[in-house]
C-alpha cells in the first residue's frame, strides 16, 4: 500500500509539470491525488485509527491556517482589482511620454512593491493589465514580461503577505517578521541588477494615452484599510505576537461592513467569488501530499542534501530547483522533514525558493500567468533570458546570506 501511495504522490507532482501537455489544471489533479492518498492511508490501517486521525487533523490545521489567511488577503485584493483602484492610481502617476528604460524601471518597482502585499497571480495580472494596452513591440513586451515575473516573485519574499512560501516558513516558526525584513535590500538589488541588464539595449520612448477611471470615496477607504492591515500585521506581530490572520480578519470584516453601509445595493460577498481558488486548491492538494510524505518518513531523504554540502550551497541549489519543482511543495517538504538549520540559513532559503522560480517560465505562478496572457512569451522565448535572470538571482542570494549573517 505504501508503494501505491508513493506512486500516486509522484503522479500528483508530475501532473504539475505536465499541465501544459494534458491541459488539466494542476489544482484539480493535486487535490485529487492529495485526497486519494489519505483515503487509502485510512483504509490501509498500518497504524491505529487514532494515530491516523491525529496526523490528518494536524495536516488540516496547518492547511486551514494558511487558507484562511490567503482568503482574507485575496478578498481585499479582489475588491481593489475589480474596482480598478490600483490601475487608476498608476495611470495618474505616469507621464504622457516615457523612455522604455524608464518604463522598465517603473514597472519593476511597481511589481516589486505590489507583490509584497498581494498574491503573485493577482500582482502579475495587474502589471500585465497595465502593460498590454501600451501596444509595445514584441521584443520590448517580452523584456517587460520577464521583469514583471522576476519582480513579482522577488518582491514577495520579505513579507508574509507577498509569497506563500514565506508565509509557510514563518508559520512554522523558523523565522519571524524582523528576520524577513532583512530580505528587502537583497531582493531589491537583485531586481535592479536584472532591469539594468535587460533595459541596456532599449533606447526609444513611447507615448502613453491617458485613461479615465471612476473611483468612489469607498475605494480610497478600502485601499487605506488594506494598507492599515499590512502595517497592523507587521506591528502587532512584532510587538504582541498577534497572529497575522487575526489582524487581516478584523480589517476584512471592517471592509465588508463599511462598503455595505456606504453602498447598500452592493454585494461585497461576490468578491470572494473573484478569488483565485485554483491557487488555493492547488495549495490544499500539495500540502495533503506532503503531509502524507511526512507520515511515511520519505521526507527524511531531503536532509541528505544538507549532509553532503554546506547549507548555503544547498539552499542555492534548491532555489534553482524550484524553477522545475514548484516552490510550494519543495518548501513544504523541507519544513515537514524538520531539518535543523540556524535562522540565517532559513532566511536565505526563503529568498532562494521565492526568487528561484523566476529562472524558468514554468517555475512560478507568475510565469505561467504571463505565458497565458502574452502569446509570444513561450517557454523557449523566456529561456533566452536565463543567463541574466540567473545573474540577478545569484547576486540577491549572495546578499541575503551576507545580510542575514551580519
Q: Could you read off the pLDDT of 319-374 as tens digits, one per residue?
A: 898 887 667 777 877 887 777 888 889 999 999 998 998 998 777 778 877 876 78
pLDDT tens-place string over residues 97-107: 778 888 889 88
Higher pLDDT, 151 or 95: 151
- Which of 188-197, 212-221, 251-260 has the highest mean predicted lDDT (pLDDT)? 188-197
Query: How would residue 108 be classed by pLDDT, with cut points 50, 70 and 90?
Result: very high
Taking 80 as the threshold, does the pLDDT of residue 77 lie above it? no
Buried b (16+ CB within 10 A) or exposed e, 307-340: eeeebbebbbebbbbbbebbbbbbbbbbbbbebe
The pLDDT assigned to 37 comes to 93
The pLDDT assigned to 209 comes to 65
Taking 70 as the threshold, does the pLDDT of residue 265 lie above it? no
Query: How would residue 89 be classed by pLDDT, with cut points 50, 70 and 90?
Result: confident
How far apart CA 52 and CA 33 sit, in angstroms, is 18
Q: State the Cα angle at 289 between 370 and 351, rounded to 5°.
A: 50
* Least-confidence region, from 205-209, 213-217, 349-353: 205-209
In 90-204, the DSSP E strands lie at 97-99
Q: What is the mean pLDDT of residues 155-173?
A: 83
Q: What is the mean pLDDT of residues 366-394?
A: 85
Q: What is the mean pLDDT of residues 6-20?
A: 80
Secondary structure of 308-328 as H, E, C letters = HCCHHHHHHHHHHHCCCCCHH
Mean pLDDT of the chain: 83
- Which of 110-119, 212-221, 380-389 has the highest mean predicted lDDT (pLDDT)? 380-389
Q: Give the rounded distance of the alpha carbon of 72 from its chain centre.
A: 15
Query: How would residue 148 be classed by pLDDT, with cut points 50, 70 and 90?
Result: very high
Q: What is the mean pLDDT of residues 41-51?
A: 84
* Least-confidence region, from 13-22, 32-41, 351-360, 391-400: 13-22
The pLDDT assigned to 299 comes to 63
Taking 70 as the threshold, does the pLDDT of residue 17 lie above it? no
Neighbours of 297 (CB within 10 A): 10
The pLDDT assigned to 154 comes to 93
How far apart CA 301 and CA 396 sit, in angstroms, is 28
* Least-confidence region, from 14-28, 355-369, 379-393: 14-28
How far apart CA 127 and CA 108 sit, in angstroms, is 9
The pLDDT assigned to 371 comes to 76
What cell was used for 239? 510587538
How far apart CA 155 and CA 401 sit, in angstroms, is 17
How far apart CA 187 and CA 198 sit, in angstroms, is 17
Query: Do the beta carbons of residue 96 and residue 210 sit within 8 Å?
Result: yes
Q: Is 199 exposed, middle or buried (0-12, 13-18, 19+ CB in 10 A)?
A: buried
Taking 80 as the threshold, does the pLDDT of residue 290 lie above it? no
How far apart CA 276 and CA 268 sit, in angstroms, is 16
Query: How would residue 298 be classed by pLDDT, with cut points 50, 70 and 90?
Result: confident
Query: How would residue 112 be classed by pLDDT, with cut points 50, 70 and 90?
Result: very high
Q: State the Cα angle at 359 between 281 and 86, rounded to 5°.
A: 60
Q: Is the dihedral of CA 148, 153, 154, 155 positive or negative?
A: positive
Query: How would residue 271 be classed by pLDDT, with cut points 50, 70 and 90?
Result: low
How far apart CA 268 and CA 258 sit, in angstroms, is 10
- Which of 16-25, 196-205, 210-219 has the highest mean predicted lDDT (pLDDT)? 196-205
Left, alpha or beta for 252 (phi > 0: left; psi -120 to 50: alpha)?
A: alpha
Higher pLDDT, 147 or 138: 147
Amino acid at each position: 500500500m505504501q508503494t501505491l501511495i508513493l506512486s500516486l504522490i509522484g503522479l500528483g507532482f508530475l501532473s504539475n509539470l505536465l499541465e501544459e501537455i494534458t491541459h488539466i489544471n494542476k489544482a484539480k489533479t493535486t487535490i485529487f491525488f492529495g485526497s486519494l492518498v489519505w483515503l487509502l492511508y485510512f483504509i490501509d490501517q498500518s497504524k491505529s485509527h487514532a494515530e491516523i486521525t491525529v496526523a490528518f487533523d494536524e495536516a488540516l490545521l496547518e492547511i486551514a491556517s494558511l487558507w484562511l489567511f490567503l482568503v482574507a488577503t485575496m478578498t481585499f485584493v479582489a475588491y481593489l482589482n475589480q474596482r480598478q483602484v490600483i490601475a487608476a492610481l498608476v495611470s495618474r502617476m505616469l507621464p504622457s511620454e516615457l523612455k522604455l528604460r524608464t518604463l522598465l524601471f517603473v514597472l519593476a518597482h511597481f511589481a516589486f512593491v505590489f507583490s509584497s502585499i498581494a498574491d503573485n497571480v493577482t500582482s502579475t495580472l495587474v502589471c500585465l493589465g497595465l502593460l498590454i494596452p501600451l501596444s509595445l513591440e514584441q521584443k520590448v513586451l517580452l523584456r517587460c514580461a520577464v521583469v514583471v515575473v522576476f519582480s513579482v516573485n522577488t518582491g514577495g519574499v520579505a513579507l508574509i503577505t507577498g509569497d506563500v512560501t514565506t508565509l509557510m516558513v514563518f508559520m512554522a516558526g523558523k523565522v519571524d517578521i524582523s528576520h524577513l525584513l532583512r530580505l528587502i535590500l537583497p531582493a531589491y538589488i537583485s531586481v535592479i541588477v536584472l532591469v539594468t541588464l535587460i533595459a541596456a539595449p532599449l533606447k526609444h520612448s513611447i507615448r502613453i494615452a491617458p485613461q479615465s477611471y471612476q473611483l468612489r470615496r469607498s475605494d480610497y477607504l478600502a485601499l487605506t484599510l488594506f494598507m492599515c492591515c499590512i502595517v497592523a500585521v507587521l506591528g502587532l506581530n512584532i510587538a504582541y505576537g498577534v497572529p497575522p490572520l487575526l489582524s487581516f480578519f478584523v480589517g476584512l470584516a471592517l471592509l465588508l461592513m463599511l462598503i455595505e453601509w456606504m453602498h447598500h445595493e452592493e454585494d461585497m460577498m461576490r468578491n470572494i467569488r473573484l478569488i483565485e481558488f485554483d491557487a488555493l486548491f492547488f495549495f490544499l492538494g500539495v500540502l495533503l501530499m506532503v503531509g502524507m510524505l511526512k507520515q511515511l518518513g520519505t521526507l527524511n531523504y531531503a536532509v541528505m542534501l544538507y549532509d553532503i554540502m554546506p547549507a548555503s550551497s544547498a539552499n542555492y541549489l534548491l532555489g534553482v530547483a524550484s524553477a522545475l519543482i514548484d516552490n510550494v511543495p519543495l518548501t513544504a517538504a523541507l519544513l515537514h522533514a524538520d531539518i535543523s538549520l540556524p535562522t540565517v540559513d532559513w532566511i536565505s532559503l526563503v529568498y532562494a525558493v521565492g526568487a528561484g522560480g523566476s529562472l524558468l517560465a514554468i517555475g512560478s505562478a507568475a510565469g505561467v500567468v504571463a505565458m497565458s496572457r502574452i502569446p509570444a512569451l513561450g517557454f523557449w522565448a523566456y529561456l533566452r533570458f536565463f543567463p541574466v535572470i540567473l545573474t540577478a538571482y545569484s547576486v540577491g542570494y549572495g546578499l541575503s546570506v551576507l545580510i542575514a549573517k551580519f
